[in-house]
Amino acid sequence: MKLDTKSLRYLNPTDWRTLTAVETGSRNHEVVPTPLIANLSKSSVGDVQRSISLLAKANLIAKVKNAKYDGYRLTYGGLDYLALHSLQKSNTVYSVGNQIGVGKESDIFVVSDEKGEQRVLKIHRLGRVSFKKGVRNKRDYARTKTQKERGAGSWMYMSRLAAVKEYAFLQALHDAGLSVPIPLGQNRHQLVMSLIDGFPLRQIENVPDPAGLYAELMEILVRLCSLGLIHGDFNEFNLIIKEEQEEEGEGIRLVPVLIDFPQMVSVDHANAEFYFDRDVECVKRFFARRFGFTSTEEGPLFKDARKQLGREGRRLDVEVEASGFSKKMAKELETYMKDHGIDGDARDAETNDEEASESGAAASDNDDEVVDEGASDIG
């Protein structure tokens, strides 16, 4: 989804209050009636009317004709603005640059801070449905099916949960010294982290020492497990390889950096072993196919890795829960993702690798996308 930041600098304080009022009203109204917007924004009706038409024109809110009354709802654009505005106020983001990634459930942008230093902004977009050509007629079906669960703005809530989860894990992993981006800020459905200067493993055609890199990746999986965690989407899409000058000599070292955490689970999760094995298998398969490397060693096995639990005296799964991403939130997000067939990048790795790398068509099924947030009922 495009992020049009053009109007960001032109909104006045009443506009922001009005936009915030629509967001607040959306928590328990599918369609927020105009008098409620005026009331929540504590502005005069005239000012609010002016703001409403400006916000609607900029597609930050959308008019909805309801059976009982007319009103407005927040759009993804409006939520983007609110989150960006907060990140700007906290000096986390100064300006927004190019989009570097379009996932099924997220958009990735390069942003910069006041000094011009580049960072990464990840925007979670659950509830956005991407339809492949030819399955267009499923659209109406998908709409009616999600209508009732839209209730308290479920796309908004779920996208925020995904960002909160990803940020909580990013902080814990960074704090424990794992090779991950530096967490810099989070607001609503967005998070900001350092930009890793490298390429996803997926784009790397050969490495000087496949066995060494493979061993290093397996050690990361085992170390995560010893800290109480399983990544759940550990594969060539979510490992960025950066080059580092070796301290002694001229050599260059390849350093894997792990990203993309909305699927992480605790080692106590009912399907922990399944996720652990899948992570191991993804790396195995990729190394065999891309580098012709197959390890002579079996495993690592979940039961062995789990025996190392607590070897560093920390359990990040427990820490994350204590930091505010509760079991209940984890369950809600997991249920939503399961119900919507969201299963990370691993499935793409299994099914699309050959065709995609030959035709370079990795991201081509994204050109017919719909924001499933009730766009059909705009009056």
Type of residue found at 113: D
Q: Of 83, 126, 164, 196, which lies in the binding site for ligand ADP, with binding defined by CB under 6 A?
A: 196
Stretch that binds ligand ADP, among 2-10, 103-111, 127-135, 309-317 (CB under 6 A): 103-111
Per-position x/- string for 283-322, each x denoting binding to ligand ADP as judged by CB under 6 A, each - no binding: ----------------------------------------
Residues in touch with Mg ion (CB under 5 A): 237-238, 260, 345
Among residues 21, 184, 224, 259, the one that binds ligand ADP under rule CB under 6 A? 259
CB of 278 to Mg ion, least distance (A): 15
* Chosen residue from 111, 168, 193, 283 binding ligand ADP by CB under 6 A: 193
Interaction of residue 200 with ligand ADP, rule CB under 6 A: yes
Using rule CB under 6 A, residue 272 touches ligand ADP: no
Give dist(CA 73, CA 68) in Å, integer: 15
User: In DSSP terms, which residues pair with 254 in a beta bridge?
Assistant: 243
Active site residue 233: yes
**Alpha carbons 190 and 21: distance in angstroms, whole number:** 20
Contact 84, 8 (CB under 8 A): yes
DSSP string, 73-133: EE-HHHHHHHHHHHHHHTTS-SEEEEEEEE-SSEEEEEEE-TT--EEEEEEE-TTEEE--T
Q: Residue with CB nearest Mg ion?
A: 260
Query: Which member of 161, 191, 240, 346 binds ligand ADP (CB under 6 A)?
Result: 240
Query: Is the N-terminal amide bond of 300 cis, ω within 30° of 0?
Result: yes
Residues 6+ apart with CB under 8 A from 321: 327, 330
- Map residue 258 onto helix, strand or coil: strand
The residue from 168, 169, 238, 282 that contacts ligand ADP (CB under 6 A) is: 238
Q: Please tell me whether residue 111 adopts helix, strand or coil conformation.
A: strand
> Which among 80, 233, 317, 348 is annotated as catalytic?
233
Which amino acid would we find at residue 305?
A
Active centre residues (catalytic): 233
Residues that bind ligand ADP (CB under 6 A): 100-101, 103, 105-106, 108, 120, 122, 181, 193, 195-196, 200, 237-238, 240, 259-260, 345
